[in-house]
Structure 1
Amino acid sequence: MKKYKITLLTMGLSLLAALGPAKAQVFKAEEPLAHTYSIVALDPKTGEMAVGVQSHWFSVGTAVPWAEAGVGVVATQSFTNKSFGPRGLALLKEGKSPEEALKILLAEDEAREMRQVAILDAKGNVATHTGDKCIRYAGHITGKNFSVQANMMLTDKVWPAMAKAFEKSEGQPLAERVLLALKAAEREGGDIRGRQSAALVVVPGQKTEPWEGRTIDLRVDDSEQPLEELERLLKVFRAYEHMNAGDLAIEKGQMQQAMEEYGKAEAMFPNNLEMKYWHAIGLANSGKTDEAAKILSEVYKKDPNWRELTSRLPEVGLLDVSKQQMQKLLK
């Protein structure tokens, strides 16, 4: 058996020596040390499934969360076996239950007692494993349509707090509920080493085209406050949902609806030039030239390139105004 020698400076100890050569195969570059807390969950009303995670490890979103629309989600962590993600999803697609899939994965893994993994399917069924050799404090709680799991935590109150926060937030959108669970973990001390990265993935409950497979896919790879940044990104995502709805309304000729959607987005981020600009263009297309010109004037002062963009919109049909109105918009 090939032996690997790695000094775990970030942990302040040498687990290789403690575990002996029989377990040396778990210390591989392709198996990141994603000691962390996470949640897998399903919204029974929308069918959406989600994985949320935070860790004191760089780019945890590339290792722990795995998801496929209409199939399920997987969180694989501790001494992470990343193959559990795609293999677990493949087993679900074959018709295996999360419990059956988990047994198959663990049976083939000599380092199973160092793994922590949760699998949830599109029906809300869930199975979770916390190995006996996961670093204290470690554990999980499985509830209705969700599971929370954590290892190398400061206290044993982390995952119970996550479960409580998720259950109390019923009725809110799934992504926001997952974020509330992660924030609850942090309030109880979270990862004993601190914090560095976070991720949030949400997929539809029904199978979709590959390019529509992820409703939300947000990652914070390196930050002193990853959950705060993740929360900010989720807010930006919600604002751009309104922007997209406004664009769709424009395509359908529903100018009033477009104005309402653009207005909601702008209210969330009043200093965002993109949102102010398209709100103004929507106003111009609905005949409210004076209102549009006032907003555009503010935008142009901060970045004159937007004026040039305005001049290009008529040629592609995104701005339908008279020459006189156009002059006012460009002034």
Structure 2
Amino acid sequence: MKKIFYLLGIGSLLGATTAQAQTTSVYKPNEPLAHTYSIVARDPATGEMAVAVQSHWFSVGTSVSWGEAGVGVVATQSFTNKSFGPRGLALMKQGKTAQETLKILLSTDEGREVRQVAILDAKGNVATHTGNKCIKYAGHITGKQFSVQANMMLSDQVWPAMSRAFEQNAHLPLAERVLAAMDAAEAQGGDIRGKQSAALLVVSGKKSDQPWQERLIDLRVDDNPVPLKELRRLLTVQRAYQHMNNGDLAVEKNDMALAMKEYSAAEALQPDNLEMQYWHGITLANTGKIDEAVKILAPVFKADKNWLILTERLPEVGLLTVSPADYKKILNAK
């Protein structure tokens, strides 16, 4: 790895002072060489902001993608300066625009010509930089409230394809729209080295008094032969479990009709998930539809007897409210 640094004629930069190293982070052996393609984007209807990335580098999402609700998102890649993520968000939080933030970050970075970075703020302003020493093919396209960028690509058609795909899929939710752009990049050959990891982060457009709710989607595929395919699968699971969460909240409010609707939606997305089938069955039982509940629960109990044991524990906490006769019928489900 060190040989790469010296071949690039930058060995002398490693002698920077400690203070300089804290701001420039130029070519440290422990920093990722996340040559990759990515997208930053905002949904003008919801205000949600997203950043997605794919690379032939392990756990790329821990280095490239950064975001904060009501503030913005950052993608920092190529010879990655990871500090651009938290520092960029801090600057935007102070009121700097995306362009002002990018200018400040690059002004103190001696390695700016091998950096690639895209910044989007909560107002939809976008700023992108591709250093003139990024490994070809490298480039970016900035559009209306989005930017696509790539380096070390197989061809120079990668980022134009991403831009087209993003613009052509405006009807999709932001996460799916961003993934459409990522798929378009891969269809053009993507990273010349191949595929290994990917990440998708979506944050709310506004701050709230419930910060734990502001990171809407946070998915990473750290090591996989087909990371984008796995990322899509995880997004489907995420959507399904959101329905499960909504169902649980409905149960807390004793709205069994809504709970059943949400559990059914989750099960439709994950038809082989035993837990989703189980809570669908329990909700049916709690709404008096015992025969329908038994029909769903019987194969769940057969597949894993622990669900039957769990069922025996539900009445004492009020999560299974049926008559003794119906309770017995459920436990004997076959």
The TM-score normalised by the length of structure 2 is: 0.93
Q: Distance in 2 between matches of 1:256 and 1:49?
A: 33
2:327 corresponding residue in structure 1: 326
Q: Distance in 1 between matches of 2:137 and 2:85?
A: 24
Q: Does 1:268 align with 2:269?
A: yes
8 A Cα contact 2:196 2:225, kept in partner = yes
After superposition, the C-alpha distances for 1:84-135 in whole angstroms (9 at most, x for unaligned) are: 0000000001111111110100000000001000110111001000000000
Q: Does 1:156 align with 2:156?
A: yes
Q: Distance in 2 between matches of 1:306 and 1:98?
A: 51
Q: Distance in 2 between matches of 1:82 and 1:18?
A: 20
Question: Cα offset for 1:251?
Answer: 2.3
8 A Cα contact 2:63 2:80, kept in partner = yes
- The farther-off stretch of 15-24 and 301-310 is 15-24
Q: Distance in 2 between matches of 1:125 and 1:247?
A: 38
8 A Cα contact 1:299 1:306, kept in partner = yes
8 A Cα contact 2:285 2:293, kept in partner = yes
| Alignment RMSD | 1.2
Secondary structure of 1:133's counterpart equals coil
Q: Distance in 1 between matches of 2:87 and 2:8?
A: 30
8 A Cα contact 2:243 2:262, kept in partner = yes
Q: Distance in 2 between matches of 1:45 and 1:119?
A: 20
Question: Cα offset for 1:325?
Answer: 1.0
Q: Distance in 1 between matches of 2:71 and 2:328?
A: 54
Secondary structure of 1:128's counterpart equals strand
2:242 corresponding residue in structure 1: 241
8 A Cα contact 2:198 2:227, kept in partner = yes
After superposition, the C-alpha distances for 1:236-259 in whole angstroms (9 at most, x for unaligned) are: 111112212222222222222222
Secondary structure of 2:8's counterpart equals helix
Structure 1 unpaired stretches of 5+: 8-13
2:21 corresponding residue in structure 1: none
After superposition, the C-alpha distances for 1:292-316 in whole angstroms (9 at most, x for unaligned) are: 1121110011100000101111111
Q: Does 1:16 align with 2:6?
A: yes
2:107 corresponding residue in structure 1: 107
1:211 corresponding residue in structure 2: 212
Question: Cα offset for 1:15?
Answer: 4.4
Question: Cα offset for 1:324?
Answer: 1.2
Q: Does 1:253 align with 2:254?
A: yes
Q: Distance in 2 between matches of 1:20 and 1:216?
A: 38
8 A Cα contact 2:2 2:29, kept in partner = no
TM alignment of 1:244-323, pairs within 5 A: 244-323=245-324
8 A Cα contact 1:6 1:27, kept in partner = no
Q: Distance in 2 between matches of 1:76 and 1:216?
A: 19
Count residues with an aligned counterpart.
Answer: 321
Report the residue type matching 1:194 in the other structure: G
Q: Distance in 1 between matches of 2:244 and 2:11?
A: 56
Q: Does 1:96 align with 2:96?
A: yes
Q: Distance in 2 between matches of 1:136 and 1:327?
A: 69
1:192 corresponding residue in structure 2: 192
8 A Cα contact 1:39 1:146, kept in partner = yes
TM alignment of 1:59-208, pairs within 5 A: 59-208=59-208
Percent identity, aligned pairs only, is 68
Q: Distance in 2 between matches of 1:42 and 1:260?
A: 30
Secondary structure of 2:321's counterpart equals coil
Secondary structure of 1:193's counterpart equals coil
Question: Cα offset for 1:21?
Answer: 2.5
Question: Cα offset for 1:20?
Answer: 4.0
1:30/1:94 CA distance change after superposition, 3 Å = farther
8 A Cα contact 2:37 2:150, kept in partner = yes
2:228 corresponding residue in structure 1: 227
Report the residue type matching 1:6 in the other structure: K
Secondary structure of 1:250's counterpart equals helix
Question: Cα offset for 1:22?
Answer: 3.4
Question: Cα offset for 1:190?
Answer: 0.2
Structure 1 stretches of 4+ moved >3 Å: 22-25
Q: Distance in 2 between matches of 1:73 and 1:54?
A: 16
Structure 2 unpaired stretches of 5+: 16-25
Question: Cα offset for 1:155?
Answer: 0.2
After superposition, the C-alpha distances for 1:133-177 in whole angstroms (9 at most, x for unaligned) are: 000000000000100000000000000000100000002100000
8 A Cα contact 1:16 1:24, kept in partner = no
After superposition, the C-alpha distances for 1:69-89 in whole angstroms (9 at most, x for unaligned) are: 000000000000000000000
